Amino acid sequence: MKAEKVIKSAQEQAIAAWVGLINQIRINDLIENLNQQDQNLDSALESMNWALKKIEDLVVTNRGGSKGVHGFIAEVAECGLENAQNLVRGDKPVMKWVNDNGPADLLRDGVEIQVKFVNAGGKFSLEAVAAHLEKYPDFLDKDGVYQIPKDHLEAVRALYEMPKEEATQLVSSDGGPSYSTWKTIHEFFDTNGIKIDDLEASKFKYPDVQKNAIADKMATEKNKLADESNQIKKNIYEEHKPTPQEGAKAAAMGAVFEAGTAFALSVKRHLGNGKRIGDLTQDDWTEIAKDSGMGLVKGGVRGGAMYRLNNYMATPASVASALVTASFGVADCVYRFRNGELTEVEFIENSEIACLDASVSAFSSFVGQVLIPVPVLGAFVGNAVGTTVYELGKDFYSKQEAELLERYTQEVRILDAELDDEYATCMSSLRENMVIYIDLLGKAFSPDAAMAFAGSIELAASLNVPNSEILHTQEEIDDFFLN
C-alpha cells in the first residue's frame, strides 16, 4: 500500500469538499433570501389589504360626508402603501394611522403628519393647511409636516419657483394656472410662516383617493409591489451567482493546501533511512522546493478548475476533483509517453489506472459524505478509508478481474458523461421555465382578487389560450355566465 497516495488523494478530496461547501453555503443563503422576499411581499400585500378594508368601512359609514370621505381615504391609503413599500424591501413599517381627530392624522417614526386633500377654490389644499395651522399654531414648531396631494404639490412648487416675469404671462383661459394663482401662492408662504419644505407630497394624486377610484389605484400599486419584489429577487439571484473573485479564493486555498501537503510528503520522503532535518543537503532542499512548487501550481489549477466545474457545469465537488486528478494523471502519462518512458500499451494501461484511481476516490468521498454528514470531514474520512481499501485490494486483483473492472469503469464514465450533459440541459431549461411559471402562478393564485384576476389572464395567454376565449373584464364574465 502506498501511504503517500492515500494521503494525497484525501487532500485532493478535502479541497473538493471545501469548494463544494462554499457553493452550498451560497445556495442555501440564496434560497433563504428568496423565501424571505416572498414573506416580505406577503406582508406588503397584507398592509394593502388592511388599508382597503379600512377604506371600505369609511365608504360604508360615509365618514366625513360625501365631500370629505376622500380625505380619510387618503390618510388610510397613504399609511397602507408606505408601510407596504417598506415591508416589500424588508424594512419595518414606520407609518401609523392616528384616527383621533387630533392635530395629526399620521405618525411616521413619531413625526406628526397632517393630511389635507382639498380641491375647492383651486388653492391646491393650501387654505386647509393655513386653517389647520391657525388652530394648532405650534404644529410646525413640533416638526410637524403637512401632506397634500402629489399633483397639488407639483403645481405649488412649479408656481413657487416661477419668476414673476414668467408668471405675468400666465392666462387661465387655457385651463392652466393664472398670474392671480401665482400671487396667491406667494402670499400664502409670505404671510403664514410656512415654508415650501414644510409640505410633503402624498403618494397619491387628488383623483386617486376618490371612493370610486381608490380600489383601482390600490390594485395598480399592488402590481407595482409584486414587480418590485420580482426585481429584488432577480437582484438576490445575481448577488448569489458564482464570481471570479470567489473562484480566485478557491484557487488560492487549493494552492496553499496542496503545496503544504507536497512539502510535508517530500520532507518525509527525504528523511527516510534515519535522516534528520539537519542531515538534508542543498540538493534535498532543492527537490523539496521543486515538489512544493509543483504542488502550489497543481493546487491552484485544481481549486480553480473544481470551482468552475462545481458552479458553472453542475458537477458534484467529488466528481470535479476526480476529473481534475484524472486529467493530471493522464497528462503525466502523455509526457512520459512522448519522452519514450512508456510504451503504447503502458501508456493506455497507466492512463486507465489514473482514471480508475480518481473514480474510486470520488466514489469513496461521496459515500463518506453521505454516511458522515459533516462538511469536509465526511468526504475526507470516506476518501481515506475507500482509497486505503482500494490500494490494499489492488495487488490481489487478477488480470482478468482488472480488465473487467476497467471496462466497467469505462462504460460507467461514458454513461456519467452522457447523464451529466442531459442533466445540465434539463436543469437549465427547468430553471428558465420555473422562474416564468412561478411568477405567473404567484399572480394567478394571489390572495388578492384583483391581482389573481389579472394574473389568470396573463397565465392563460402564456399557455396559448386564444384571446377570444379569455374573459378580460367584468362585462365579459357576466356575458359568459348569464347569456
- Residue 140's pLDDT band (cuts 50, 70, 90): very high
Residue 9: its H or E element:
helix 3-61
| pLDDT higher than threshold 60 for residue 386 | no
Residue 196 or residue 380, greater confidence? 196
389 band by pLDDT with thresholds 50, 70 and 90:
very low
Least confident of 154-163, 176-185, 194-203, 328-337: 328-337
Question: How far, in whole angstroms, is CA 255 from its chain's centroid?
Answer: 31
Compute how many other C-beta atoms are within 10 angstroms of the C-beta atom of residue 93: 16
Angle, to 10 degrees, between the axis of helix 282-312 and the axis of helix 3-61? 30
What is the model's pLDDT at position 379?
A: 45
Its sign, for the CA torsion 370, 375, 377, 383, is positive
Kindly state the helix (H) or strand (E) to which residue 252 belongs, with its residue range.
helix 244-270
**Quick check: 31 and 233 in contact, CB under 8 A?**
no
Confidence of residue 482 (pLDDT cuts 50, 70, 90): confident
Look at 232 and 478; give whichever has higher pLDDT.
232
For the chain, first and last CA: distance in Å? 86
pLDDT band at residue 39 using 50, 70 and 90 as cut-offs:
very high
Residue 149 has pLDDT above 70, yes or no: yes
| Tens of pLDDT, residues 211-243 | 899 999 999 999 999 999 999 999 988 887 777
428-470 pLDDT tens trace: 887 887 777 777 777 777 778 778 778 788 878 877 888 888 8
Residue 385 pLDDT? 44
**Rg of the chain's alpha carbons, rounded to an integer?**
36
Of 121 and 187, the one with more pLDDT: 187
Strand ranges inside 186-296, DSSP E: 199-201
Query: Residue 329 pLDDT more than 50?
Result: yes
Residue 396 has pLDDT above 90, yes or no: no
| Confidence band of 392 (pLDDT split at 50, 70, 90) | very low
pLDDT beyond 60 at 256: yes
Name residue 58's beta-bridge partners.
none
Given this model, what pLDDT does residue 462 score? 79
pTM reported for the whole predicted model: 0.60
Buried-exposed string 157-167: b where 16+ CB fall within 10 A, e elsewhere: eebeebeeeeb
C-alpha grid cell for residue 474?
Answer: 367584468
C-alpha cell of residue 95: 407609518
Phi-psi region of 170 (alpha: psi -120 to 50; beta: other; left: phi over 0): beta
Whether residue 270 contacts residue 288, with contact meaning beta carbons closer than 8 Å, is answered with yes
Average pLDDT, the chain: 78
Give the dihedral sign, CA 125/127/129/132: negative
Confidence (pLDDT) at 416: 80
C-alpha cell at 180: 392671480
Nearest to 356 by CA among 396, 402, 298: 402
Cα separation, 477 vs 466, in Å, equals: 16
Query: Residue 111 has what pLDDT?
Result: 94
Q: Using pLDDT thresholds of 50, 70 and 90, give the confidence band for residue 380.
A: very low
Q: β-strands 199-201, 145-148: how paired?
A: parallel
Residue 276 confidence (pLDDT) above 60: yes
**By percentage, how much of the chain surpasses pLDDT 90?**
30
Dump pLDDT digits (tens) for 345-355: 776 766 666 66
